[in-house]
Structure 1
């Protein structure tokens, strides 16, 4: 059962919007390799604002993700791609529905 999640907000530097979108799209392959990250979304909220939503069964999974390859890649690219430091919000999941369309 999914109980924990993260929401990461990213603001692209002017002219770097496509690079941020491409970076996030590539992140799906990395998320696929994380056994403790069953849910992962890359989002575009506005033309320059992006987000990552991911969810986990337990706190250990959330911590593993925070210390994993996606987080390391994001930290390595942040200065190049982002207008301001990204924010990370830890979220508790109250309820969910996950059914393929």
Structure 2
């Protein structure tokens, strides 16, 4: 099976950027222990919008992540305190991958 990718955008409540970035750092540490997670990136799009890009070895790894410690329930529990709403998530199949440097 092909490697899967997730692109998500999430809006942070005004003034909660530092807390959101702590959540993302915690997620990175959790994801490092998920054997099927092959990459994790967080980008700041503007003052209150972040993008998250993850890749997973297969569907089982993606589902384990969604149900895991930094997955859906954890993020949704922070809606209204750190995040303005649940993330908007798109899943896809990775077509090409390159690592440089």
What TM-score do the two structures reach when normalised by structure 2? 0.87
Q: Which residue of structure 2 lines up, in the alignment, with residue 98 of structure 1?
A: 99
Counterpart Cα distance in 2 of 1:43 and 1:23: 13
> CA shift at 1:2, angstroms?
5.7
Task: Please list every run of 5 or more consecutive structure 2 residues that lacks an aligned counterpart in the other structure.
Answer: none
Counterpart Cα distance in 2 of 1:83 and 1:75: 10
1:47 aligns with 2:14: no
Q: After TM superposition, which residue ranges in structure 1, 4 or more long, deviate above 6 angstroms?
A: none
Structure with bigger helix share is 1
Q: How many residue pairs were aligned?
A: 100
For the aligned residues, what is the CA RMSD?
1.7
What TM-score do the two structures reach when normalised by structure 1? 0.87
Task: Please list every run of 5 or more consecutive structure 1 residues that lacks an aligned counterpart in the other structure.
Answer: none
Structure 1 residues 75, 85: CA separation in 2 closer, same or farther (over 3 Å shift)?
closer
